[in-house]
Amino acid sequence: MRAVNFWFLGGLLAIAGCGESEDEGSCPFHEGDDAAAETHEADSLEVKSLIYPEEVHFSNMRQLTFGGDNAEAYWSFDSESLVFQATNPQWNLSCDQIFVMELGKDKPSRKPPTMVSTGYGRTTCAYFMPGDEDIVYASTHLADSACPEVPHRGPEGEYVWPVYEGYDIFVVDVQGDNLRQLTNEPGYDAEATVSPKGDRMVFTSTRDGDLDLYTMAIDGSDVQRVTHELGYDGGAFFSPDGQWLIWRASRPEGEQADLYKGLLERGLVQPTAMELFIGRVDGSEQRQLTHLGGANWAPYFHPSGEKVLFCSNHQSGKFPFNLFMIDLDGTNLEQITFDSDFDSFPMFSPDGKRIAFSSNRNNGRTRNTNMFVADWVD
């Protein structure tokens, strides 16, 4: 839920009229073996087939997954691995689980890379801890080992995301062992990301009755509330110097405020009107960064700390979703991707050389969402 759940992507694609594949399942790998995966990997190196002509900030793009729904891919501190969540029938997964992919070792394959979550419940929002030996993520497995039910619409027909009360935040090592629980408050605790300084993490919680941002030490102690305004504050990331936070938020008023509160009481939130906000880690100097309309979300700081990359559908209010970049004063909006469907979850590698994101490009007109990595060109 840091950005969007995979069932939401499927619903968006259905709205956009993207048809299901008539092939077996949704993954291009059917009865083949890992040789097929290597062929797909070779195909992914054909840059012209993956980068649209207008995408001048990308080079050497590589597709990392082929089939299913794969997203929220976030870099290790050493820029060598990605942790991500996936639902893939070919991996016998019907509910999001957390995986680690070593970019210098793992090849696209029918076989999944290392799964570090328990395999139970639903998981989301994974991130590397300092030292790259541990992963933080959110899971519902303690509340219920089964995959939680996905709502189709709100009580008045609204398009909604679920805010599962069973989510808590956990830490596990990169082999999937030594699971430790960090949060144990009633309600939703998820969307954790870690400061580049390695001292704190930010997360979203309903512990005080609304969806607000909090920070805590990486051992789960010293919890401090960051936001206090009515609305959904979530999907936060730290600036490269660890001094600022960038996040998405809704700020409902009037009838929309009543609708928001009514949905939240039912464990739901409507994600169609969100803008980007920025503030210091202690909650001071908060301000709205974008005023674009539509859904603006999945923000991440440019390595310079002077710009923010994010996902938006402000041009149409529906599809497509593309990546944009904007200065911290709200000027110089620039479109980065030019997809006809969906690009989101952008994240720069800590060394600033590469970008990872998820996209519907090159998916054979299926509903698959795959992970991509490319060199970044300023």
Give the residue-averaged pLDDT of 248-265. 97
Looking at per-residue pLDDT, the higher value among 311 and 27 belongs to 311
pLDDT at 103: 92
Number of helices (H) and strands (E), helices first, in the chain?
A: 4, 26
Q: Which residues pair with residue 358 across a beta bridge?
A: 344, 371
The model's pTM is 0.88
In contact, 374 and 73? CB cutoff 8 Å: no
Looking at per-residue pLDDT, the higher value among 227 and 90 belongs to 227
pLDDT at 40: 46
In whole angstroms, how far apart are CA 229 and each of 163, 211, 215, 287, 311? 18, 9, 16, 12, 23
Cis-peptide into 252, omega within 30 deg: no
pLDDT at 110: 60
In contact, 309 and 289? CB cutoff 8 Å: no
Strands (E), 240-317: 244-249, 268-269, 275-280, 287-288, 296-301, 307-312
Share of the chain above pLDDT 90, in %: 79
Give the residue extent of every domain in the chain. Answer: 6-376
pLDDT at 156: 81
Distance between CA 74 and CA 83 in Å, rounded? 5
Assign 8 to helix, strand or coil.
helix
**C-alpha torsion sign, points 336, 5, 183, 213:** positive
Cβ neighbour number for residue 103 with a 10 Å cutoff: 18
Share of the chain above pLDDT 70, in %: 86
User: With 90 as the cut, is the pLDDT of residue 9 above it?
Assistant: no
pLDDT at 45: 41
| Predicted confidence (pLDDT) per residue in 277-297, tens digit | 999 999 999 999 999 999 999
| Residue 143 CB-density burial (10 A; 0-12 exposed, 13-18 middle, 19+ buried) | middle
| Predicted confidence (pLDDT) per residue in 257-270, tens digit | 999 999 999 999 99
Q: Which of 229, 334, 205 is nearest to 277 (CA)?
A: 229
Q: Let me know if domain 6-376 sits in CATH 2.120.10.30.
A: yes
Of 1-5, 25-29, 65-69, 308-312, which gets the smallest average pLDDT? 25-29
Distance between CA 50 and CA 209 in Å, rounded? 44
pLDDT band for position 80 (50/70/90)? Answer: very high
User: With 50 as the cut, is the pLDDT of residue 43 above it?
Assistant: no
Of 3-17, 56-70, 275-289, which gets the smallest average pLDDT? 3-17
| Predicted confidence (pLDDT) per residue in 145-184, tens digit | 999 999 988 878 888 999 999 999 999 999 999 999 999 9
Q: Which residues pair with residue 114 across a beta bridge?
A: 100
Distance between CA 81 and CA 213 in Å, rounded? 27
What backbone phi and psi angles, to 5 degrees, belong to 358? -115, 150
Give the residue-averaged pLDDT of 55-59. 98
In contact, 303 and 315? CB cutoff 8 Å: no
